[in-house]
Amino acid sequence: MTASSQTKASTARFGVVVFPGSNCDADSHDAVNSFTGAEARYLWHKDTELAGLDCVILPGGFSYGDYLRCGAIARFSPIMKAVRRFAEDGGLVIGICNGFQILLEAGMLPGAMHRNAGLKFVCKLVNLRVENAATPFTRAYAPGQRISIPIAHMEGNYFIDAEGLAEMEQHDQIVVRYCDEAGEVTMEANPNGSLGNIAGVCNRDGNVFGLMPHPERVCDPVVGGADGRGVFESIMDFLVNKR
Amino acid sequence: MKAKVYITPKQGILDPQGVAIERSLPALGFEGVANVRVGKYIELELPAGDGAADEVDKMCHKLLANPIIEDFRFELETE
Amino acid sequence: MKAKVYITPKQGILDPQGVAIERSLPALGFEGVANVRVGKYIELELPAGDGAADEVDKMCHKLLANPIIEDFRFELETE
Amino acid sequence: MTAKPAYELLGLKAREYDDICARLGREPNYVELAIFSLMWSEHCGYKHSRPLLKGLPVGGDCILQGPGENAGIIDIGNGLAIAMKIESHNHPSAIEPFQGAATGIGGIVRDIFAMGARPIACLDPLHFGSLEKARQKFLLDGVVAGVAAYGNCMGIPTIGGEIHFEDAYEGNCLVNVMCVGQVEHDGILKASAHGEGNLIILFGSTTGRDGIGGASILASAEFDESAGEKRPTVQVGDPFTEKKLLEASLEMRDRGLLVGLQDLGAGGLSSSASEMASKGGSGIDMDIARVPLREAGMEPFEIMISESQERMLACVTPGNEAAALAVCAKWDLDATVIGKVTDTGRLRIFRGEEMIGDMPVAALVDEAPTYLVEPVRPRHEVDEPLAEDHYPPPEDPAAVLLKLLASPNICSRRWVYQQYDHMVQTNNALWPGGEAAVLRLKGRRDGVALVTDGNGRRCYLDPRRGARAVVAEAARNLSCTGARPVAITNCLNFGNPEKGGIYHQFKEAVEGMTEACEALETPVTGGNVSFYNESFGKAIYPNPVVGMLGVVDDVDRIARHGFAGDGDVILLLGSGRPAVDGSEYQLRIHGEVAGRIPDVDLELEKKLQALVREAIREGMIISVHDVSDGGLACCLAESAIEGGRGAVVELDDAGDGADGSGPRADIMLFGETPGLVVATVAGDDLERLRQMAGDVPLRVIGRTGGERLVIKSGGRELLSVPVSDAAASWENALEKMMQGT
Ligand SMILES: Nc1ncnc2c1ncn2[C@@H]1O[C@H](COP(=O)(O)OP(=O)(O)O)[C@@H](O)[C@H]1O
Ligand SMILES: [Mg+2]
């Protein structure tokens, strides 16, 4: 089972899934181990056992080369069945970039990804507005807070039909949107054509979160910022101090 | 036997690649081209048999196409 | 009129996508699938006329296909 | 018509064929001939370069591996080492820019992990023709997309490189790629097959007909219309398989399963197997019937010379065979034992039981004939620089500045590096756009800095001075971040060496590079030679490209180039009289490339760089930027743009040359010379810095602040430009050119 209310920082356990082609697995692993006081271990995509974990990270990268469609093949990895069960039992699952794409393909989050509107890979620091600061992944941020986190993807152009969008809005599932310096959600601030500038969404229960930006890349000012720490701090706060 | 699978962006759904191609055509001297849609074309071989069509259909549903944004159709050919 | 363009990797040229899909299929319960090749399928509309086939051919050469590593063919349809 | 003999069709000369017969004691069969023709090609055999490369300085306390392996290795202390290598993929990229560049990255990355190192960065020095031509845009677009596709997928950040646009590269672009890796001393691998009875495992992709007569043939012949016919040889990169190859290789190394490891690059199995045997002082027997093929009906010679990508050879003991194969299976890679190590000193090729080739390894690897060519100094190389009044002075220096800032050779490279995942692995202490990239090393205080530099235009005017300047500039760039230059790798891009003029350029450049590397104590750890960069008989600019490694002792103490505060004192450090010869100003404004470039004073350069590093370490430097393309004015403008603030600069107290007559205003502003650095410091630190400077010239030239960049001389305003205008010219110029607006 997932975290009990007795969880201490030192006993919170993260699993980072390694698919063939994952390449931000080590970055996520390092971010957890360096800045949360918790412990992360790698999970092989053929593993089927997630017992004892509190949070599963599906990291960025190019699982299966992102061939066919991003995440399309990885979602059939044996571990994904276990991840689905883990989420159903209330475990925390965060998909970053490719991990987000996998969660979409697996139907664990609503919507789908198109190629970026500019058709090019985009790697840069972007501004995000925290739309929902009540999730286990964003509670360390203030509602409406502007944060700077890099993106690095070719297919982050989020799409969902009107019905699905309305439903998501109704349930507060849009967690972060691309915005400008001033925190305004504008067309110019949209780096990839995403519908409604959507950068990250959660499921209805709020325990599965997917986002294109890479919080694990900005946990240390030496490498360009620390705005991403909030995501990991939120998770820890949720696990330790509970719901 | 051979299957030919055609995957196209769903009608009414944005197709960034199609849009980009359409925009770049005039500069290359191609006028009046419209409704460019970019999809996938997949060929594969599979054991012949009555169940083949079903198999390919399943493959498309499960893996080859994403029903949220894509339509598909396929043809089977026995050589 | 409508053009349907089929673009496939040239024979003998590596098709990494095809290989990756082929390798993943058995795990999904699809056995015996071979020679998966992934190409593109493009639909577009252009002004009808005698020159249409020529136009599409040129378009394929210049933009839609990469003749160095891809083959293409197309069909024209008048609705 | 008389049919040409087979050896000639394969690119061998009659004399070379006789040589081969003598070494075999008989005529070679076709498989052997095909293998010899590859191994004795310019690309693999270094026929025109080997004698000259011998002069490069290769030794040094920190050099764990010099030239001769897949990559050089430099000790950076505390048990850690850095592997690095640069390579060209010019010809494949000119044919198919996306795949050419992608497989270029693939090849150089394999060289790095073949040494046991985990790749931590790629860099990509690129040269194209003018962007006004649609073909050149197509090439740039494709090459950048190819580098991005491969590097991004691998999870290796592309953190640096450079791009130049000159007409000289119109028919023959240069796509050089560099990879850098990190490795614990005890994890270093060699490409050696030794131990009689040990097994040779081929793992990775299947072998197809792609690249037959590919890279090595392309790179060993001039490039013209008939190149189109070589198209079917284009190789397609598969970064996903390479990523698995990387992980599987390092896992085998970690588990102690490897005797030796070698990548398959140009020359395919032939080259890899014979090099492994050569380094192990052994022989190899191999059975090509065991090679997993992608296509039916491949001939034995095709299997031996195929340049299919994403393949490696491992040498393992029989006891480790099963474990090694299991690691490959875990990573879903094909792996097959295809041969074994012998003590024969021969490469023997079997098809099943039948022996179909038998050659001495030494003949293949070490005994390719070498050629010396009589060097001829081309007529465009002159002894004297242009007179200072050779061109009329510009009427509006401010307009010149804006034009230079928008030059494709100077403007922001953001359009390029945004397509590269430059942040993955989360080590960037300095992001792209600065003087050099700086990477932290996780869990350590120190870090590494990396830069590439090439300047064909200057080398064209004077290859010796040009090569000296290139090495000095690479080192200066590193020093300006606070890093101590340590070693280089190099990619020597030249035309057809059989021509006296080209051979002269090559020789001069290699000697110039030698002088500079000796003076700056940055030995050569390896590299690559790319000849025959010509199209329709016209050669590219001679272009020795340098990739340099530096070490920063403390990643918290590095410098950036943007003006970071108002009222800081602006200093000009170093000396050197700016010249119009070979400058961007000459090319862009006066439409010429002519004259003779100034030489770099290497002794002073060394002191200057030491001063800059010490001042950074002492925390005195607020910003620092070296004076390079576009001269002093562009240097100041770039710092202003980056810092988002202006400056007022007075050159009258300092602009006079040693002989009392200062350069003309436009040349002072836009002329180029190696050996100058602009730094800003707090007024309080000025005296201390003067003390430290010793005999390095130091001149106060202005103060930061305001919204304009104002440059005066003798009380007269030479130019005054709002920083926002400068930024507007500089920032989106490349995007605009690519969009054709
Ligand atoms: N310009 C050069 N300077 C120094 N060493 C060089 C140069 N060119 C090639 N070498 C060295 O010669 C050896 C053979 O090069 P190459 O055939 O390109 O290696 P690989 O096949 O691994 O790419 C390498 O060790 C390389 O570092
Ligand atoms: Mg090699």
The CA distance from C75 to the nearest CA of chain D, in Å, is 26
Both tokens assigned to D515: 């002088």
Nearest CA to ligand 1 atom 22: D70
Instruction: List alpha helices for A36-116, DSSP H.
Output: 78-88, 98-105
Give the residue numbers spanning the domain of D631.
388-408+560-741
Under an 8 A CB cutoff, do A73 and C16 touch?
A: no
Which pLDDT tens digit goes with each residue over D19-31?
999 999 999 999 9
pLDDT at A2: 42
Angle CA(D368)–CA(D372)–CA(D375) in degrees, nearest 5? 150
Angle in degrees, 0-180, between the axes of helices D397-405 and D723-731, rounded to the nearest 10: 40
The SS3 call for residue D39 is: helix
Q: Measure Cα distances from B15 to A117, D5, D122, D249 in Å.
A: 9, 55, 33, 40
Examine the pLDDT at D221 and tell me if it is beyond 70: no
Task: Judge contact between D521 and D60, C-beta under 8 A.
Answer: yes
Task: Judge contact between A93 and A208, C-beta under 8 A.
Answer: yes
Rounded Cα distance between D415 and D144, Å, is 10
Best probe of the C interface among B30, B31, B37, B55, by most C CBs < 10 A, is B30
Rounded Cα distance between D90 and D461, Å, is 22
Terminus-to-terminus CA distance in chain B, angstroms? 7
Rounded Cα distance between B64 and C33, Å, is 13
Rounded Cα distance between A98 and A95, Å, is 7
Q: How many Cα atoms within 13 Å fall on the side-chain side of residue B48?
A: 5
Rounded Cα distance between D669 and D85, Å, is 37
Residue D15 counted as domain residue:
yes
Angle CA(D431)–CA(D99)–CA(D142) in degrees, nearest 5? 60
Please indicate whether residue A97 is annotated as part of the active site: yes
B47 interface with C at CB cutoff 8 Å: yes
Q: Measure Cα distances from D14 to D5, D210, D267, D500, D555 in Å.
A: 9, 28, 21, 22, 58
Both tokens assigned to A90: 């209330």
Candidates D200, D193, D211, D192; CA nearest to D287 is: D200
Q: Which of D96, D209, D241 is closest, CB to CB, to C12?
A: D209
D621, D708: one domain: yes
- Sorted by where each begins, the domain ranges of chain C are 2-77
Rounded Cα distance between B49 and D378, Å, is 73
D364, D392: one domain: no
Ligand nearest to the CA of D111: 2
Rounded Cα distance between D200 and D261, Å, is 10
Task: Judge contact between D453 and D550, C-beta under 8 A.
Answer: no
CATH number of B2-77: 3.30.1280.10
Number of Cβ within a 10 Å radius of residue D31? 23
pLDDT at C29: 87
pLDDT at D72: 97
Examine the pLDDT at C68 and tell me if it is beyond 80: yes
Q: Would strands D534-535 and D538-539 be described as parallel, antiparallel, or unpaired?
A: antiparallel
* Rg for chain A, CA atoms, rounded: 16
Q: How far is the CA of D65 from the centre of ligand 2 (A)?
A: 14
Instruction: List alpha helices for D495-601, DSSP H.
Output: 500-520, 584-590
pLDDT at C28: 87
Under an 8 A CB cutoff, do A217 and D423 touch?
A: yes
pLDDT at A35: 87
Under an 8 A CB cutoff, do A119 and B69 touch?
A: no
Among D40, D522, D528, D530, the mutation site with the greatest number of ligand 1 atoms within 8 A of its Cβ is D528
pLDDT at D660: 53
Give D594-621 as a 3 state SS string.
Answer: CCCCCCCCHHHHHHHHHHHHHHHHCCCE
Q: How many domains does chain D have?
A: 2
Q: Measure Cα distances from D116 to D190, D261, D281 in Å.
A: 8, 8, 21
Please indicate whether residue A219 is annotated as part of the active site: no
Examine the pLDDT at D229 and tell me if it is beyond 50: no
Examine the pLDDT at D654 and tell me if it is beyond 80: no
Which pLDDT tens digit goes with each residue over D73-105?
999 999 999 999 999 999 999 999 999 999 999
The CA distance from D159 to the nearest CA of chain C, in Å, is 26
ipTM for this prediction: 0.93
Instruction: List alpha helices for D535-601, DSSP H.
Output: 584-590
pLDDT, greater one: D221 or D269: D269
Examine the pLDDT at D640 and tell me if it is beyond 80: yes
CB-defined site of ligand 1, < 6 Å: D 44, 53, 56, 67-70, 87, 111, 265, 490, 492, 524, 526-529
Examine the pLDDT at D655 and tell me if it is beyond 50: no
Task: Judge contact between A98 and A58, C-beta under 8 A.
Answer: yes
Model confidence at D225, in pLDDT bands (50, 70, 90)?
Answer: very low
Q: Which of A179-188, D608-617, D659-668, D681-690 has the lowest mean pLDDT?
A: D659-668
Rounded Cα distance between D586 and D22, Å, is 55
- Spatial strand order of the sheet with B70-77 comes to B70-77, B2-9, B34-45, C34-45, C2-9, C70-77
- Report DSSP letters for D221-253, one per residue: S-BSGGGGGGGGG-----HHHHHHHHHHHHHHH
pLDDT, greater one: B29 or A192: A192
Phi-psi region of D77 (alpha: psi -120 to 50; beta: other; left: phi over 0): left
In this prediction the pTM is: 0.95
Please indicate whether residue A216 is annotated as part of the active site: yes
A193 interface with B at CB cutoff 8 Å: yes
- Sequence-distant (6+) residues with CB within 8 A of D154 are A23, D105, D109, D119, D239, D242, D243, D246
Angle CA(D536)–CA(D144)–CA(D88) in degrees, nearest 5? 50
Which pLDDT tens digit goes with each residue over C23-67?
999 988 898 999 999 999 999 999 988 889 999 999 999 899 998
Rounded Cα distance between D134 and C35, Å, is 37
CATH number of A3-242: 3.40.50.880
pLDDT at D220: 56
Which pLDDT tens digit goes with each residue over D113-163?
999 999 999 999 999 999 999 999 999 999 999 999 999 999 999 999 999
Task: Judge contact between A198 and A126, C-beta under 8 A.
Answer: no
Q: Which of B30, B41, B59 is closest, CB to CB, to C55?
A: B30
pLDDT, greater one: A101 or B11: A101
Q: Measure Cα distances from D301 to D29, D205, D212, D269, D312 in Å.
A: 10, 18, 10, 10, 19
Which pLDDT tens digit goes with each residue over D188-200?
999 999 999 999 9
pLDDT tens string, chain A, 243 residues long: the values are 344 445 666 678 999 999 999 999 999 999 999 988 899 999 999 999 999 999 999 999 999 999 999 999 999 999 999 999 999 999 999 999 999 999 999 999 999 999 999 999 999 999 999 999 999 999 999 999 999 999 999 999 999 999 999 999 999 999 999 999 999 999 999 999 999 999 999 999 999 999 999 999 999 999 989 999 999 999 999 999 875
D285, D400: one domain: no
Residue D356 counted as domain residue:
yes
A112 interface with B at CB cutoff 8 Å: yes
Residue type, A22: S
Residue position matching structure tokens 């005994």: D367
Residue D648 counted as domain residue:
yes
Which pLDDT tens digit goes with each residue over D472-493?
999 999 999 999 999 999 999 9
Examine the pLDDT at D619 and tell me if it is beyond 70: yes
Examine the pLDDT at D3 and tell me if it is beyond 80: no
Q: Which of C12, C16, C68 is closest, CB to CB, to D241?
A: C16
Examine the pLDDT at D231 and tell me if it is beyond 80: no
Best probe of the A interface among D421, D427, D438, D441, by most A CBs < 10 A, is D421
| Average pLDDT estimate for D648-669 | 72
Q: Would strands A208-211 and A92-96 be described as parallel, antiparallel, or unpaired?
A: parallel
Q: Which of A65, A73, A76 is closest, CB to CB, to C16?
A: A65
Under an 8 A CB cutoff, do B63 and C28 touch?
A: yes
| Average pLDDT estimate for D537-558 | 96
pLDDT at D490: 98
D594, D622: one domain: yes
Q: How far is the CA of A199 from the centre of ligand 2 (A)?
A: 41
Q: Would strands C2-9 and C34-45 be described as parallel, antiparallel, or unpaired?
A: antiparallel
Rounded Cα distance between D202 and A74, Å, is 27
Q: How far is the CA of D502 from the centre of ligand 2 (A)?
A: 27
D621, D741: one domain: yes
Residue type, D616: I
The CA distance from C26 to the nearest CA of chain A, in Å, is 11
What is chain D's mean pLDDT, rounded? 94
Q: How far is the CA of D494 from the centre of ligand 1 (A)?
A: 15
Catalytic annotation, pick one of D48, D89, D422, D504: D89
